[in-house]
Structure 1
Amino acid sequence: MSRLLLTSALCLGIAAPAFAVQPAEGEKLAENQSYTFWLLDAIKTADPQKNTDVEGSDIIRQLFEGLLNEDAKGAPIPGVATGFDLSDDKLTYTFHLRPDAKWSNGDPLTAKDFVYAWQRLANPETASEYAWFIELMNVENATAVVKGEKKPEELGVKATDDHTLEVKLTAPTPYFPKMVTHASTFPTPQKVIEAEGDNWTQPGKLVGNGAYVLTSHDLGVQISMDKNPNYWDAANVVMEHIKGLTVNDNNVALTRYQAGELDRVQIPAGQYPRLKQESPDQAISIPYSCTYGYLLNLSEKGPEALKDARVRQALSYGMQRDIVVNQILQGGQKPAYNWTHWAIEGFKMPEIDYAAWSQAERLEKAKALLAEAGYGPDNPLKLTLTYNTDENHKKIAVAAQQFYKALGVQLTLNNVEWKVHTDRMQSQDFEMARYAWCADYNEASTFLDFFRTTGMNYGKYSNAEFDKLMDQSKASADPNEQYTAAEKILAADMPIVPIYQYSKVDMIRDDIKGLSTENVMNDWYAKDIYRIAK
């Protein structure tokens, strides 16, 4: 067996020292240790195996804890596991769990709880939209279990004793430790789920193993959590209470921040330059591993026009990204001509032909492609763009409508609430849809695997050569070779119109400390933050 060097504690396979919150020199803790953050939409679920949303993951990360967590820069560090061994063939991970880990009801947390959760994720009866993730982890028999060809008990994960979890892979996966920081891999309490059914995530019923417990949840209004006294490192958790407030209007949310009701909020489009000048200690813009675009429905339910690659290319070429980034957003975002975010660790940005063209050249090419496809003044291309409620999404959609009007494309805008939007995407009930993908782990495959035939892939794009490249990347010494080729296929097939790559553009109250601004994943843990006295 070999040891993977993540931290000295993980290397040695021994309990890690507590990562206690320590105020910097000259800082004094405030008496009030509470933190209130903004949620754009109501979270769909607090169930780790059923969640699909970034905001849902933020909540789950406080209520549950996986094998590994992330440090301030996004590197894996001990969570429930104090360390792990890796076999010489790099196919077997053996995680060593903390003997003092407990559920919030005081029950001991064991390796069997992870086995149950991972089997539950893969089990078709769970109907998890993230079942594909355990396939991407290359866990033995995952695909067969997800397809219903093998029983969940045949998944390559087992508890060799209460505090030892063994995971068998089908191929060496260097980024596997990063993947187990994802919420879908977190343990879930079998006894509670079997007793409560779908209601198990309700306040008073939810049992987690994270640093916080759920105290109230008024769907679409607020969600509140208090410090969990049964958390293994509770002695070093400073923040006592955290609350998420749902405010669908970003401008209203900013007003509530300025009124002192929120401690962190997204800056509305176009306002970062002013706010940075007015409040330099509160306004931030940092790389954030998400890509924003318009997903195209290529399924049988999608419009016939979008089955023509020339039409899809024209829609991409006609998107005026510089206007979106420099005139609408103004927060440090970058124009996107490819799918994988530029800041992902180890990713080498490929040369995408149309990225080097002038916008005038792109528009000229777009008009020519539409004409070749049979569209023009006598037969205008008509499409509907669906987007979820948010002022930024609306501004970009209105701009897109004008961009496409210059090409002779008639774009109808359809605004719906988030739950409706996601339900429609999942059932392919859309033509074009506002979409963003945020990395599940800090490696390029998290973006590219989305477009596998078997990936999340709401538009039902399918390309055998693309799938083959992604298969090859799993065993490649330098997967960037396959990633570059895969990105070029996407640029030719254009299953999505990439628009921009995110920056996290927020206001953070200056007495809140411990929130990471160096993790491109922008995952955060309330147990690491604290409020100082002013």
Structure 2
Amino acid sequence: MRKANWLLLVLVVVLSMFLAACSGGDDTTEEDTGTDTQQGSEGDSTNEEGNDGKVLRVVSTSEIPSLDPAQATDSVSIQYTDSLYEGLYRLKTGGEIVSGIANEDETVISEDGLTYTFKLREDAKWSNGEPVTANDFVYAWRRAITPETASVYGEYLMSGAIKNATEIYAGELEPTELGVTAEDDYTLKVELVKPVPYFESFVAFPTFLPLNQAFVEEQGENFAIELDNLLFNGPFVLTEWDNAAGWKLERNDQYWDKDNVDLDGINVKVVKETGTAVSLYEKGEIDRVGLSGEFVDQKKTSPDYYSLSEATVFWLKFNQGSSTKGEYMQNENFRRAIAQGFDKEAFINIVYGNDSIPADYFVPSDFVQNPETGEDFRAKYGNIISYDLETAQSAWEKAKQELGFEEVSLVFLSGDSDVGKAITEFFKSELEKNLEGLTIELQNVPWSEQLEIMDAQEYELAFSGWGPDYKDAISFIDLWETGGANNDIGYSNDEYDALVKSVKNELALKPVERFEAMQEAEKIMLDEAGIGPVMQRKTSVLSKNYVTGMEQLNPFGPSYSYKYVGIEK
């Protein structure tokens, strides 16, 4: 869902409210979004204030909103909960799913795909020396689905997947009825409502991290508020935390796999200005930095420069569901004219100036592959709704006739950052030029307010995006299901709904048919110009040549897997 974290666009500002599948706003940054690389500068500044320790030094443009796994919805929180805790599985560099607390070779899955029995490693410990047990998972998962916890992801990820989760969240059953049981200290049983083909990547998400019940209950409402109210079981522990200035992590000596953690620590400075962060990088005071705008152009020829691919796609939202705001957007030709009436390459060049890719789709390329042929999701239909001025202008004339107008004014909603303003200004100029009689009024608001406006469907045209929470195309496909929690455009199509329903139910254990059904669903939606795809983002960064293990952004979950990052000098 990442409706979360979506101040994600390639600015070097960090996501601010990612809810995680992540719907997005308009800025993003390096650290939060990560960044990385392998080769680069000839600079050999000593690490960590002059010593030779293996300490990664990065910047963040945002504080950590929460280190409570149940409340982690933004990119920064997700990045550091992943570093400080460990669940059944975790991500390796590039998004590979690997065993965490679960002994992967001993996991048993029932033939119907409804029951998972996990054997947990017995050498995993909390940072206070206590063992990590099956009850730590049971307690944490029950806590996340309890309505009083108000976990956005608890409800989003568990309902309709884990037995009784929907009923518990609705207040119809007690949390003790959740389909997760500690058979003994090191055996965890999970019962599902229906098969979840992507379950292993699903439970790698922070919502499913364990918590030490005695410790959390002792802290009460202060849990995770300050350093003393935290307990860790991951590769790192937090040793300093001043949200306004930064924070420091050190390798966790209690971690079961500490010998395979290369970094001694991670030092993070909060730096909100890109120019300041770039200056720190050039002085050798940080090891990596995200770039945007003019800094991309300035640094593209640097040996330290890298362009990192993401599974994040941005689009224009057309509000078709509101009788007051969606009058024009309910017309397919009206939507098509806008969706195909702007130059996507020009948009990227003018607003971002980086290597982001024009998108004519909403399921990203290089994200998931056909389980039988290995072909990318995009291989079957490729680009579906491209920039085509002739088609757009023809559709515009048809819309005028069908709706009976010669002139029309639309309000365009986007963020209030520099990037957000640049986005709306580009579309105002481009669409007014290409579609005669159209006037665009600009509405630039903070991301939190934009989110509220979109959720209430009190807008006409908006810029937004999505990044996946787990490695499966359904993270994008079920966005537009009629009445869906994230369907804030009011799109509805019976054939589309039927395909989504089959993907989640009878096709769950038929991987090829399931994959192809999702391809068909995407085509149906875009053939109706349900949204106007804009771009698949890339992130531009500078990184010192001694930093390893950050050569790629993870396609979902935390941007980087710091457990596998190294400093090689």
TM-score by length of 2: 0.79
* Residue 90 of structure 1, CA deviation: 2.4
* Residue 53 of structure 1, CA deviation: 1.6
Counterpart in the other structure of 1:186: 209
Query: Aligned with 2:95: secondary structure?
Result: coil
Contact 1:102 1:232 in 2 (8 A): yes
Counterpart in the other structure of 2:92: 71
Counterpart in the other structure of 2:563: 527
* Residue 205 of structure 1, CA deviation: 0.8
Which stretches in structure 1 are left out of the alignment for 5+ residues? 1-22
* Residue 387 of structure 1, CA deviation: 1.0
1:351-390 to structure 2, matched below 5 A, reads 351=381, 355-356=385-386, 358-366=388-396, 368-369=398-399, 372-377=402-407, 380-389=408-417
Distance (Å, rounded) in 2 between the aligned partners of 1:44 and 1:422: 17
Change (3 A) 1:47 1:422: farther
Deviations 1:11-46 (A, max 9, x none): xxxxxxxxxxxx99xx99982322233334344322
Contact 1:308 1:373 in 2 (8 A): no
Contact 2:361 2:383 in 1 (8 A): no
Counterpart in the other structure of 2:426: 399
Change (3 A) 1:463 1:356: closer
Distance (Å, rounded) in 2 between the aligned partners of 1:131 and 1:460: 24
* Residue 492 of structure 1, CA deviation: 4.6
Distance (Å, rounded) in 2 between the aligned partners of 1:192 and 1:95: 24
Change (3 A) 1:455 1:273: same
Distance (Å, rounded) in 2 between the aligned partners of 1:462 and 1:156: 32
Distance (Å, rounded) in 2 between the aligned partners of 1:243 and 1:73: 22
Change (3 A) 1:267 1:90: same
Does the alignment pair 1:490 with 2:518? no
Picking from 162, 165, 172, the partner of 1:139 is 162
1:165-204 to structure 2, matched below 5 A, reads 165-202=188-225, 203-204=227-228
Counterpart in the other structure of 2:146: 123
* Residue 221 of structure 1, CA deviation: 4.3
Change (3 A) 1:148 1:136: closer
Picking from 220, 227, 237, the partner of 1:213 is 237
Does the alignment pair 1:293 with 2:293? no
* Residue 77 of structure 1, CA deviation: 0.9
Change (3 A) 1:466 1:197: farther
Matching residue's letter, 2:101: V
Distance (Å, rounded) in 1 between the aligned partners of 2:394 and 2:83: 50
Query: Aligned with 2:90: secondary structure?
Result: strand
Picking from 62, 81, 92, the partner of 1:60 is 81
Change (3 A) 1:342 1:354: closer
Counterpart in the other structure of 2:254: 230
Q: State the percentage of identical aligned residues.
A: 29
Counterpart in the other structure of 1:51: 72
Change (3 A) 1:417 1:105: farther
> In angstroms, what is the RMSD of aligned CA positions?
3.2
Distance (Å, rounded) in 2 between the aligned partners of 1:375 and 1:348: 39
TM-score by length of 1: 0.84
Alignment length (residue pairs): 504
Query: Aligned with 2:308: secondary structure?
Result: strand
Query: Aligned with 1:77: secondary structure?
Result: strand
Instruction: Give the stretch that moved more between structures: 330-339 or 409-418.
Output: 409-418
Distance (Å, rounded) in 2 between the aligned partners of 1:348 and 1:424: 32
Deviations 1:204-229 (A, max 9, x none): 21223222223344445423323322
Matching residue's letter, 1:193: V
Instruction: Give the stretch that moved more between structures: 282-291 or 487-496.
Output: 487-496
Instruction: Give the stretch that moved more between structures: 484-493 or 301-310.
Output: 301-310
* Residue 301 of structure 1, CA deviation: 9.5
Counterpart in the other structure of 1:441: 470
Distance (Å, rounded) in 2 between the aligned partners of 1:410 and 1:181: 46
Counterpart in the other structure of 1:513: 548
Deviations 1:329-349 (A, max 9, x none): 343322122211111121522
Does the alignment pair 1:269 with 2:293? yes
Distance (Å, rounded) in 1 between the aligned partners of 2:455 and 2:279: 34
Distance (Å, rounded) in 1 between the aligned partners of 2:401 and 2:230: 57
Distance (Å, rounded) in 2 between the aligned partners of 1:130 and 1:385: 26
Distance (Å, rounded) in 2 between the aligned partners of 1:284 and 1:461: 38
Distance (Å, rounded) in 2 between the aligned partners of 1:178 and 1:302: 40
Instruction: Give the stretch that moved more between structures: 315-324 or 92-101.
Output: 315-324
Instruction: Give the stretch that moved more between structures: 45-54 or 303-312.
Output: 303-312
Counterpart in the other structure of 2:515: 480
* Residue 424 of structure 1, CA deviation: 4.9
Distance (Å, rounded) in 2 between the aligned partners of 1:187 and 1:263: 32
Distance (Å, rounded) in 2 between the aligned partners of 1:228 and 1:455: 39
Deviations 1:25-80 (A, max 9, x none): xx999823222333343443222222222232112111211111122342211111
Deviations 1:301-326 (A, max 9, x none): 97244652434433322332121234
Instruction: Give the stretch that moved more between structures: 494-503 or 305-314.
Output: 305-314
Change (3 A) 1:351 1:190: same
Change (3 A) 1:516 1:160: farther
1:239-254 to structure 2, matched below 5 A, reads 239-254=263-278
Distance (Å, rounded) in 1 between the aligned partners of 2:324 and 2:286: 41
Change (3 A) 1:320 1:93: same
Distance (Å, rounded) in 2 between the aligned partners of 1:301 and 1:72: 47
Query: Aligned with 1:130: secondary structure?
Result: helix
* Residue 166 of structure 1, CA deviation: 1.0
Contact 1:137 1:173 in 2 (8 A): no
Query: Aligned with 1:404: secondary structure?
Result: helix
Matching residue's letter, 1:369: A
Matching residue's letter, 1:401: K
